[in-house]
Chains A and B, each alone.
Chain A
Amino acid sequence: MGLNTAPSPVSKEIARKSRPDGPAEPGQPLAEPAKEAWWYPFKKALPVYLFILPGVILFLVWTVYPLVNMFVMSFFQWNLVKPSIFLGFDNYARAFGDEIFWQALRNTIFYAVISVPGQLILGLAVALLVNQKLPFRAFFRTMFYLPVVSSWLVVSLIFMYLYNSQAGLLNYLLKDILHIIPSYQAWLQNPVTALFAICALGIWKGVGWTMVIFLAGLQSVPPTLYESAAMDGANTWRRFWHITLPLIRPTIVFATVMLSIGAFNVFIQVYVMTGGGPQHSTETLMTYMYSEAFKFLDLGYGAALSWIFAIGIFIISILEIRFLRRPVEY
């Protein structure tokens, strides 16, 4: 609440009374009118509102208005030049009968199911490692965080070279060095491997972020707990399982929710690397929405898809918070 909860007039009044050099003239009644005007608190808080006004305006113009406008668009066959046609819930009904929509949903869930635990487990492992007193600790932390700060576009292009069907590093390693695969593979052009290849990029890029979050969580665990547990004879594994994990639970919840939201919004790497192909095998909700809205100019349908996604992500986030958040205290 902070700024919004201005002190109530009653407490102000008390403060004024108790102050000897108050602004009140002697002889004048100190009490405010018995029945204050309804706008009085508003007037009191006016400077506060003025301060938050620019932020609120920006939020309204750039977030609320597009959202609301998009909601309206989702009920129309929205045309740019010609008049739009009202369709009611047709766009929503169409999505649920659209096989590519379901495929995109399956792919997105697959991506989330692979990449979220992948980032959580690897991120936690790396966090545990760089939480030790290692030489060059800061260097390792920086190195693991580097992918996070690089642009999605740049890393997507780099991974395209990595996965290249002729001169790619992956093919070179697997065929020419390790002799695991019999011939060069077109990783991104093969419907079986393309989504895995994209998941791998997602995990690689996300581990650093998860590491930093877990690092913060790990450092909030009181070291005394480990000391007393060690005295009781708990080995490293038991200390991790019974102290670290329960105590960083809020961090895990936070990371899981944020990573899931991120996973459901997977877009740039797919758009750059495969464009949703081959044969929609890497089509995700975002790429499908994007191509419907901006490639085929089916803006109403794209808007309806966006709202379905938004509601879905909202529900998933709430479920995750509900099931995972259970306060633990020692």
Chain B
Amino acid sequence: MKTRLTLSSFSSVFRHGRLSLALLAVLCASLVLAACGDNTATTAPAPTTAAATTAAAATTAAQATTAAAATTAAATTAATTAAATTAATATTAAAATTAASSDAPALGDPNLKGTVTFWHTYSADSKEQDTLKNVVLPGFAKLYPNVKVDAQQIPDTDFRQKLLTGISGDILPDVARLDIQYVPEFADMGALAKLDDMPGFAAIKADAYPGPLSTNFWKGSYYGLPLDTNTKVIMYNKALLDAAGLTAPPKNMDEFIAAAKKLTVPGKQYGFVPSGTGAWSILPFFWSLGGNVTDENITKASGYLNSADSVAALQQLVDLKKAGVMPDAIFGGGISTMEGLATGQYAMIDDGPWMNSIAASQFPNFTLNYAPMPAGKGGSIGIVGGEDLVMFAKSKDSPAAWAFSRYMLSKDVQLAMGKIGQLPAIKSVATSPELASLPYYSTFLTQLQSTKARLPHPAWTKIETVLNDTFEAAFRGDKDVKTLLDAAAPKVDALLAGTK
């Protein structure tokens, strides 16, 4: 039976059971309009279609204002130009305000009331978690008896994801301990609070090392405090070095490469094993051998990532893999590098200060030895890791959140955390005698003087994927190093420019 859909035949349309379809179509149409209205309203004050309901209009207006409020902080200059000045401005700004400003109020206020939700990634079942619970939080409760801190541990691997979900669902903590590589990304999203004008910020800024401090800087403002810092150094098995007749760890890259080959017994012992083929594992060696990812202002990778120096640097590392110095386990699977080192299968690895306590508990009979990154054409360059303390723009209790943030940067907390491997980024604490007596400390402190950070750029997560893919392909020998780097450079260019 056929029915022509005219107004007069509507009743027969219904009768044939198509009402639900018609209703669906109408509802879909209105949903499209509502959803469109949502976006046109936030993009530009363009007039929405007449069909947009008043309710939808009202909500979009509200959203538009909150979004605007949140983003007024972030100046909307072009991403490239801002990135260009990031590092430079950060260092000069830090240098300019050397004198600690005296307007910083002292910590402690029994009248301050509030609740601070604190998301952190301090390892569960570790000294970090213990110190936070037993030393840091009780100390804060003494200074601010009426501020409640709700500290929640979140596994490191899920943290960024959880924050992103939190942003979309508007469920965020007041304060978070965020990996330094993500701060520009979240700042660029408009999720973080600007800290430049907070009371006491200038004092912290003046006392911070410029490298870690610069990871908080994005488009003219600071969005975090340098909570802790770290870098990786060479760790070696002294027994294996002795057996090979090496009396001291290699000082420069030539010695390092020669030693790595000498320490290799095919199929049985590997001379040097990086923790993987990703950017975090490879970049310090790539840099030290003279390689570069971008220009100094982080605007361009072409001509840098695929320069002759970069190709040569990566080639030397790939050659080590080809020579059998590194096992296939660098592609994943297999034992941890620390286990390989402690059990005498690996002669040299590289890792961070946290490894001291892990090694002590897992391999109590093994003595870990440290050496700085070997110096090559690019110098002895470590990679900066660490965490920043950020406050969220939508924090409901920002005075309490700020008090907690300042407390976390105070000398007591920094010392307590520093003793268990969380190296302070605050000069006055980093140089204190309590820390200098730690066995591993001096090597890391020396290395921290010459480090590079992964690109402080919102697109870093994607750039990292490009680098990871490129490095892995090179180590696997899929294509030659130059071809791979030539292919990667324009991809990174596009990501830096924000054009995807």
Contact of B16 among A5, A69, A79, A186 (CB under 8 A): A5
Interface size on A, residues (CB 8 A): 50
Interface residues of B (CB under 8 A from A): 10-11, 14-17, 19-20, 23-24, 27-28, 31-32, 35-36, 38-40, 42-43, 64, 67, 70-71, 74, 161, 164, 167-168, 189-191, 328-329, 331-335, 461-462, 469, 472-473, 476, 478, 500
Q: Would you list 26 pairs from A and B whose C-beta atoms are within 8 A, ordered by A residue?
A: A4-B20, A5-B15, A5-B17, A42-B19, A65-B31, A68-B28, A69-B35, A72-B35, A80-B189, A81-B67, A81-B70, A82-B190, A83-B42, A83-B43, A83-B64, A83-B71, A84-B43, A165-B334, A186-B329, A186-B334, A188-B332, A189-B332, A280-B469, A294-B164, A295-B461, A301-B500
Contact assessment for A41 and B15 in the assembled complex, using a CB-CB cutoff below 8 Å:
yes
Residues from chain A with a CB closer than 8 A to the CB of B39 are 72, 76, 84, 86
Residues from chain B with a CB closer than 8 A to the CB of A72 are 32, 35-36, 38-39
Residues from chain A with a CB closer than 8 A to the CB of B335 are 166
Question: Is A315 part of the contact surface with B, judged by Cβ < 8 Å?
Answer: no
Residues from chain B with a CB closer than 8 A to the CB of A188 are 332-333
Residue-by-residue, is A256-288 near B (CB-CB < 8 Å gives 1, otherwise 0)? Answer: 000000000000000000000111100000000
CA distance A4 to B17 in the complex (A): 5
* Also in contact, A64 and B71, with CB within 8 A (given A81-B190, A186-B334): no
Greatest chain B CB density within 10 A among A82, A188, A294 is at: A82
CA distance A301 to B462 in the complex (A): 14
Contact assessment for A94 and B500 in the assembled complex, using a CB-CB cutoff below 8 Å:
yes
Contact assessment for A186 and B11 in the assembled complex, using a CB-CB cutoff below 8 Å:
no
B464 to chain A, nearest CB (A): 10
CA distance A40 to B332 in the complex (A): 69
Q: Which residues of chain A from 35 to 76 have a CB within 8 Å of any chain B CB?
A: 36, 38-42, 45, 49, 52, 56, 60, 64-65, 68-69, 71-72, 76
Contact of A68 among B32, B329, B333 (CB under 8 A): B32
Contact assessment for A64 and B15 in the assembled complex, using a CB-CB cutoff below 8 Å:
no
Contact of A295 among B32, B161, B189 (CB under 8 A): B161
Contact assessment for B472 and A1 in the assembled complex, using a CB-CB cutoff below 8 Å:
no
Question: Is A85 part of the contact surface with B, judged by Cβ < 8 Å?
Answer: yes
CA distance A36 to B31 in the complex (A): 33
Residues from chain B with a CB closer than 8 A to the CB of A65 are 31
Contact of B331 among A4, A8, A186, A294 (CB under 8 A): A186
The A interface is mostly helix, strand or loop, or mixed, namely loop
Contact assessment for B43 and A279 in the assembled complex, using a CB-CB cutoff below 8 Å:
no
CB nearest to A275 among chain B residues: B332
Contact assessment for B35 and A68 in the assembled complex, using a CB-CB cutoff below 8 Å:
yes
A36-B11, A56-B24, A165-B332 known, 17 other contacts, Cβ within 8 Å: A4-B19, A5-B17, A49-B19, A56-B23, A64-B28, A64-B31, A68-B31, A69-B31, A71-B32, A72-B32, A80-B189, A83-B64, A86-B39, A186-B334, A188-B332, A279-B469, A298-B500
Contact assessment for A296 and B461 in the assembled complex, using a CB-CB cutoff below 8 Å:
yes
Contact assessment for A8 and B191 in the assembled complex, using a CB-CB cutoff below 8 Å:
no
CB nearest to A163 among chain B residues: B333
B462 to chain A, nearest CB (A): 5
Question: Is A164 part of the contact surface with B, judged by Cβ < 8 Å?
Answer: yes
Contact assessment for B67 and A189 in the assembled complex, using a CB-CB cutoff below 8 Å:
no
Residues from chain A with a CB closer than 8 A to the CB of B24 are 56, 60, 64
CA distance A79 to B39 in the complex (A): 10
Question: Is A297 part of the contact surface with B, judged by Cβ < 8 Å?
Answer: yes
CA distance A65 to B168 in the complex (A): 17
Residues from chain B with a CB closer than 8 A to the CB of A94 are 500
Contact assessment for B473 and A279 in the assembled complex, using a CB-CB cutoff below 8 Å:
yes
CA distance A56 to B19 in the complex (A): 13
CA distance A94 to B31 in the complex (A): 26
A260 to chain B, nearest CB (A): 27
CA distance A159 to B168 in the complex (A): 34
CA distance A52 to B24 in the complex (A): 13
CB nearest to B39 among chain A residues: A84
CA distance A199 to B38 in the complex (A): 42
Residues from chain A with a CB closer than 8 A to the CB of B70 are 81-82
Residues from chain A with a CB closer than 8 A to the CB of B27 are 60, 64
Contact of A164 among B15, B167, B333, B473 (CB under 8 A): B333
Contact assessment for B168 and A82 in the assembled complex, using a CB-CB cutoff below 8 Å:
no
Residues from chain B with a CB closer than 8 A to the CB of A39 are 11
Contact assessment for A81 and B191 in the assembled complex, using a CB-CB cutoff below 8 Å:
yes
